[in-house]
């Protein structure tokens, strides 16, 4: 839940909070490796594709960020998100011809795995004799499709998966991705479906070791995570087409909050969703309209992301024709 939506934070305060967040964050362990992968992925997808123009590239964020309470982390605060929205959307973006940077929470739902059971290794395979294992007949179509589609996306250089766990990793990686994508201009898109923590314990004031319960009740001060949406729009990737999400549990305030986020963070679209109905319906809020998008129930196994991504691709095409609209 975003508690800062209604409050105006002066620009200098926000800049200072962002600076302090990044300066005090523990550096990424594999920062060089991520940089290299990004450079290679974006370089390859900047080249003209089959139709003569550069491929569109979208960064899809997915899953919830954690807030560690100890540096040698035993306990943490988590954010709700199964990662289904991000994983399904990634598949539809790839089908629509986009290259996808999938920034996801470790252990959450993955693209091309949605139709598999929760533990595919244990549930889809059977041991026929001591030397052989085979896919169960009932799962063979789903397994074949998942492997074929996933390997094709990776082999064609259309999918780069980057995992995060903590809020520190997520925001540092989002910044790196955005700055790398800046050179793409308007064909770049951000689809920010991750559930991002609003409060965190700064690394500098975090306990080193496991907090002891023998010391009595825990009294801890959490600092607000600075919203990075505006800085993403203004500084990191100013030409990119940006879509953020607004999650609420009270439908009465949902559209108003989505409208507010659209204006405040200068998003091109805000996808408003309510927790319980999020798999059936979302409302896409733009400066000109509000479009209700539903899951098409007439098609078996269909999901709301199918229609949502179709609408987003259309609007992105219109933006490419005229980025000033």
- Kindly state the smallest distance separating residue 122's Cβ from ligand PMT, in Å: 23
The whole-angstrom separation of Cα 118 and Cα 277 is 22
- Among 55, 85, 112, 150, contact with ligand PMT (rule: CB under 6 A): 85
Q: Interface with ligand PMT includes 84 (CB under 6 A)?
A: yes
Is residue 268 within the footprint of ligand PMT (CB under 6 A)?
A: no
User: Is 153 a binder of ligand PMT (CB under 6 A)?
Assistant: no
Q: Which is nearer to ligand PMT, 81 or 180 (CB)?
A: 81
Under rule CB under 6 A, residue 66 binds ligand PMT: no
Per-residue binding letters, 154-193, with ligand PMT (x by CB under 6 A) = --------------------------------------xx
Query: Does residue 90 bind ligand PMT (CB under 6 A)?
Result: no
24 binds ligand PMT (CB under 6 A): no
Of 160 and 196, which CB lies nearer to ligand PMT in the complex structure?
A: 196
Name the minimum Å distance from CB 67 to ligand PMT.
Answer: 11
244 touches ligand PMT (CB under 6 A): yes
- Token output for 253: 């305030």
Of 37, 44, 266, 278, the residue at the interface with ligand PMT (CB under 6 A) is 278
Question: Is residue 284 within the footprint of ligand PMT (CB under 6 A)?
Answer: no
Determine, following the binding rule CB under 6 A, whether residue 259 of this chain makes contact with ligand PMT. no
Nearest CB to ligand PMT, comparing residues 149 and 198: 198
Q: Which is nearer to ligand PMT, 45 or 242 (CB)?
A: 242
Residue with tokens 């998008």: 293
Tell me the CB-side half-sphere exposure of residue 63, using CA atoms within 13 A.
23
- For residues 46 and 82, which CB has a smaller minimum distance to ligand PMT in the complex? 82
Closest CA to 249 of 260, 259, 237, 257: 257
Q: Would you state the structure tokens that stand for residue 155, as one six-digit string?
A: 């082999």
Choices 114-122, 154-162, 243-251, 289-297 (CB under 6 A): range interacting with ligand PMT = 243-251
Count of residues binding ligand PMT (CB under 6 A)? 23
Q: Does position 65 bind ligand PMT by CB under 6 A?
A: no
**Rg value, the chain, Cα:** 21
Annotate 34-66 with b (16+ C-beta within 10 A) or e (fewer). Answer: beebbeebbeebbeeeeeeebbbbbbbbbbbbb
In sign, the C-alpha dihedral spanning 258, 312, 44, 65 is positive
| Terminal-to-terminal C-alpha distance of the chain | 30
Q: Does 245 bind ligand PMT (CB under 6 A)?
A: yes
Per the DSSP assignment, residues forming a β-bridge with 187 are: none
Looking at 56, 105, 227, 268, which residue binds ligand PMT (CB under 6 A)? 227
The answer to whether residue 20 forms part of the interface with ligand PMT (CB under 6 A) is no
Binding site for ligand PMT (CB under 6 A): 1-2, 81-85, 192-196, 198, 225, 227-229, 244-247, 273, 278
């Amino acid at each position: 839940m975003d508690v800062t939506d209604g409050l105006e934070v002066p620009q200098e305060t926000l800049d200072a909070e962002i600076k302090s967040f990044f300066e005090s964050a523990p550096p990424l362990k594999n920062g060089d490796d991520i940089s290299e992968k990004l450079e290679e992925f974006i370089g390859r997808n900047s080249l003209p594709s089959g139709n003569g123009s550069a491929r569109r590239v979208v960064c899809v964020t997915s899953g919830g960020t954690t807030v560690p309470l100890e540096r040698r982390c035993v306990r943490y605060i988590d954010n709700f998100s199964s990662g289904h929205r991000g994983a399904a959307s990634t598949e539809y973006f790839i089908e629509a011809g986009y290259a996808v940077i999938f920034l996801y929470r470790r252990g959450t739902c993955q693209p091309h795995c949605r139709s598999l059971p929760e533990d595919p290794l244990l549930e889809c395979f059977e041991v026929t004799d001591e030397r052989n294992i085979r896919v169960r007949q009932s799962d063979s179509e789903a397994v074949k499709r998942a492997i074929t589609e996933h390997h094709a996306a990776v082999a064609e250089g259309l999918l780069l998966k980057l995992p995060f766990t903590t809020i520190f990793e997520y925001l540092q990686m989002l910044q790196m991705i955005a700055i790398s994508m800046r050179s793409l201009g308007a064909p770049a898109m951000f689809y920010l479906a991750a559930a991002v923590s609003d409060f965190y314990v700064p690394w500098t004031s975090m306990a080193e070791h496991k907090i002891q319960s023998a010391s009595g009740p825990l009294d801890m001060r959490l600092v607000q995570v600075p919203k990075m949406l505006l800085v993403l729009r203004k500084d990191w990737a100013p030409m990119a087409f940006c879509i953020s999400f607004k999650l609420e549990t009270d439908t009465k305030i949902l559209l108003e909050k989505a409208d507010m986020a659209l204006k405040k963070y200068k998003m091109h679209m805000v996808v408003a969703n309510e927790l319980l109905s999020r798999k059936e319906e979302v409302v896409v809020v733009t400066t000109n309209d509000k479009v209700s998008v539903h899951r098409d129930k007439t098609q078996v196994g269909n999901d709301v992301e199918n229609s949502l991504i179709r609408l987003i691709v259309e609007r992105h095409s219109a933006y490419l024709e005229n980025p000033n609209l």
